[in-house]
Structure 1
Amino acid sequence: MCTLEKRGSVYILTLTGNDEHLLNPSRIDSISAALHRVRGESTATPSTCTALITTGEGMFFSNGGDIPWVQSNKQKFLFMMSKIRGLLTDFMSLPMPTIAAVNGHATCAGVNLALCHDYIFMRKDCGYLYINFNDVGRLPTFPYVRATIRAKISSPAVWRDLIMSAQKIPATMAVEKGIIDAAYDTVEETVAAAIDLGEQLVMRKWKGHVYAENRKLLFPEVLQALSVLETDESVKNSLIVPIKDPASRL
């Protein structure tokens, strides 16, 4: 599901396998366990500064929520979205700088996963950001979906392109639109640049708990939205789409 390695003071979390890295409870639990280790080690030695990089194998960063796992079942859907919300909360509260090295396609919840990092790098030769609510006839009724996009992307024109036009945005365009910080020719260069930034940030010797609190101060609306529990009302226009539709993602 994922691996976690440490190079010096930089942790590298990699979503493993040559699949779509769909966010289902099993994968989320695997990632959450890695984050728990990172948080625990950082808290145990508060004088040691660290950074976290998240990337993936293959052509997908994450293709969103695992619709086949849900099987159009309301309770399973609510459970999965609760797990995704918990995962994004973990990323937003980590006591260290975080960098997403987006290795390929990121769709819907995959976009939110990237946006919950402090910095986003992306490869140019493969992948795009894509939120397909209009393409599949679904509303983004979960508060954290809206809050993360509005907090991390400043331009209403970009909201229009990403949400209203369901535009597939490649790396170079994502830099131009201010969605990501930088784009690199290959995945290897993307990860290397993320490691380099992580090492530079570690050298600042920031206190992790202070860094985490400053992030909360900057994005209170995201943290507030991530505290909102899933309800039956939030399902009404969000899911229950044919499983046979491979383009349907959350």
Structure 2
Amino acid sequence: MDTGSMCTVERRGRVHLITITGAGEHRLGLPLISALRSGVAAARASPGAGALVLAAEGKYFSNGFDQAWARTVPLHLQMSMSEGFRGLLADLLALPMPTVAAVTGHASAAGCALALAHDSVVMRGSRGFLYMSEVDAGIKIVDYFGEVLRQKVPDAATRRDMVLAGSKMTAAEAVRRGVVDAAADGGVDDVVAAAVAAAEGLAARGWDGEVVAEIRKAMWPAVWGKVKDYGAEAAAAARPRL
């Protein structure tokens, strides 16, 4: 499956792999957000899919929101980018299967939040960092980003360093501080293979996917509370019945 040439979607055994394509920064503008949401929806609808992995080609996992575009458009379009991303996080939290982020390169701002919104994170050991760049860029942090960080970064000093000091965290440090689960040696393909293997192991447990989703929401209620009205479930519930 090709989601508008920005992402590819493929099956590897029981794992649904979404890959952001190209060698660019993978800025999260409306087109990429929509493509990712389509990929997540495809995973949800795929018979026999037991886990999801999100990866990216090139140097970047994602360098955050498309701020250059946002500066050229009216405020309501800027808001639509943020709300679309809020919906993407809701889709991931409500997805009835385990999720793994393969952080194949730099993950900054919204890209960092996207990685941390997964159940587990495998990060490339030799290249790339996690970076909440808002303090350096002079941009206020979005409320639901704050909740993701509070729930997914276990140590208060680490959260402070990430958000108020703009620290760039390597894979080794992220593993040591409990922010990501594993660092994988090698290139992009090796990181993806490690993430797929981890996801396959989770899929093999044969868990009830709906139970997984409900446990996830209960584990991170503050995040779910801020995103739930924007996800695919909410959209489906609001759709008129014929």
* Alpha-carbon separation, structure 2, partners of 1:40 and 1:189: 27
Report how far residue 86 of structure 1 moved: 0.6
| Residues 1:208 and 2:213 aligned together | no
Q: Distance in 2 between matches of 1:12 and 1:49?
A: 10
Question: Percent identity of the aligned residues?
Answer: 39
Counterpart amino acid of 1:26? P
Secondary structure at 1:22's aligned position in 2? coil
TM-score normalised by the chain length of structure 2: 0.88
Cross-structure match for 2:16: 11
Cα deviation for residue 26 of structure 1 reads 0.7
Question: Residue 20 of structure 1 aligns with which residue?
Answer: 25
Corresponding residue number in structure 2 for 1:51:
51
Unaligned runs of 5+ in 2: 1-5, 231-242
1:124 is the counterpart of 2:125: yes
Q: How far apart in 2 are the matches of 1:207 and 1:151? A: 24
Hey, what's the Cα distance between the residues in 2 that align with 1:9 and 1:98? 12
Pairwise CA distance, 1:67: 0.9
Structure-to-structure mapping, 1:80-159, within 5 angstroms: 80-140=81-141, 142-159=142-159
**Number of aligned positions between the proteins:** 223
Matched AA of 1:115: L
Residue-by-residue CA offset, 1:176-217 (whole Å, 9 max, x unaligned) = 111100101222222111111111111111111111111011
Mapping of residues 191-206 of structure 1, within 5 Å: 191-206=192-207
Cα distance in 1 between the residues matched to 2:98 and 2:228: 22
Amino acid at match of 2:69: W
Amino acid at match of 1:225: K
Q: Are the aligned partners of 1:61 and 1:110 in contact in 2 as well (CA < 8 Å)?
A: yes
Extract unaligned runs of 5+ from structure 1. Answer: 230-250
Is contact 1:103-1:127 (8 Å) kept? yes
Alpha-carbon distance in structure 1 between the residues aligned to 2:137 and 2:43:
37
Asked if residue 184 in structure 1 is aligned to residue 184 in structure 2, the reply is: yes
C-alpha displacement of 1:228 = 7.0
Change (3 A) 1:200 1:227: closer
TM-score, scaled to structure 1: 0.86
Indicate the larger mover: 14-23 or 69-78.
Answer: 69-78
Query: What per-residue deviation string (whole Å, max 9, x for no partner) do you get for residues 23-53 of structure 1?
Result: 1111111111111111122xxx4xx451101
C-alpha distance in 2 between matches for 1:49 and 1:224: 27
1:71 Cα deviation after fit: 2.3
Give the Cα–Cα distance (whole angstroms) in 2 for the partners of residues 149 and 193 of structure 1: 24
User: CA offset at residue 161 of structure 1?
Assistant: 1.0
Q: 1:79 to 1:206 in 2, by over 3 A?
A: same
Inter-partner Cα distance in structure 1 for 2:139 and 2:15: 38
Q: Name the residue aligned to 2:219.
A: 218
CA distance in 2, matches of 1:49, 1:39: 8
AA matched with 1:146 = G
For 1:158 and 1:124, how far apart are their aligned partners in 2?
19
Q: Tell me the secondary structure at the aligned position of residue 23 of structure 1.
A: coil
Query: Which residue of structure 1 lines up, in the alignment, with residue 174 of structure 2?
Result: 174
Structure 2 counterpart SS, 1:26: helix
What secondary structure, in the 3-state scheme, does the structure 2 residue paired with 1:138 have?
coil
Secondary structure, counterpart of 1:180 in structure 2: coil
CA contact (8 A) 1:49 1:206 kept: no
Contact kept? 1:49, 1:207, Cα under 8 Å: no
Equivalent position SS for 1:53: strand
Distance 1:35-1:71 versus aligned 2 partners, 3 A rule: same
